[in-house]
Amino acid sequence: MALSSRYARLKTRVEQLGNHLLPQIDPTGSYSDKDLDLTRSYCLLCHAEIEAYIEDIILEITSNAVTNWHNDKSIITPIVFHLAYTYRSEKREPPYSMVVLSFNLLKKYIEKNNGIKEDNLNGFCKPIGFQMDEVLKTTLSDFGKTRGEIAHTSFQTQQPIDPQTEKNRVLQILSGLALFDYELFAYSQTGVLKRTPIVTQWKKFSFVERIKILFTGKHIS
């Protein structure tokens, strides 16, 4: 399956971090304090790269959908539809404005984001109607908790860390993100995920003409 150039950069960078920071794996688990500190650095820097990738790819895919819609208002992709569908305000807005306002809110959320826990991930995906794989979401959230413990607690109070375990976890995340990358692009084109149904898929809205009228103000010819 074809993956984005942004994912390719993530994978390359994570491999570099592993080469630069992880010690030679010792089957007996005997590591120096320096080895363990470098492993903690590996976790922190991998977390930063993974977080940046998710933010970037969500923004890239969504920006492309909105740009195409700006150029041709008849191109109502699932992302554009959900941006309007999920927008909430006490003020009544026309569909055109809801798309733009919702997109701007998503951009601000991404700019201020700090983490890959479940709430962060839902904040990325919900506005565009995308459902991240639950196993990947849980794995990312757990990794985010580990990062928080490393970054915000004293060494003496941290749980023991194992280089092999952390390397395996990052590789598992990379594998999950490869599928995420592929599915996100596919979803942006069709609104369908083969593994699970989307809560608000196109098929729920059987009156396609009604949607066209909603966004374009005119009937399909």
What phi and psi, each to the nearest 5 degrees, are found at residue 116? -130, 30
pLDDT for position 202:
40
pLDDT for position 57:
98
**pTM of the predicted structure, to 2 decimals:** 0.85
Structure token digits, residue 125: 């995906």
| CA distances to 39, 110, 119, 221 from 124, in Å | 29, 7, 9, 35
Alpha carbon distance 161, 163 (integer Å): 7
pLDDT for position 194:
61
pLDDT for position 152:
61
**Is there a domain that residue 169 lies in?**
yes
| CA distances to 5, 178, 198 from 84, in Å | 28, 28, 16
pLDDT for position 156:
54
**Regions of the chain where pLDDT drops below 70:** 1, 152-158, 193-221
**Is there a domain that residue 59 lies in?**
yes
**Is there a domain that residue 221 lies in?**
no
pLDDT for position 157:
52
Q: Structural domain of residue 155, as residue ranges?
A: 5-23+31-216
pLDDT for position 59:
98
**Is there a domain that residue 87 lies in?**
yes
**Number of domains, the chain:** 1
At 73 the three-state DSSP class reads: coil
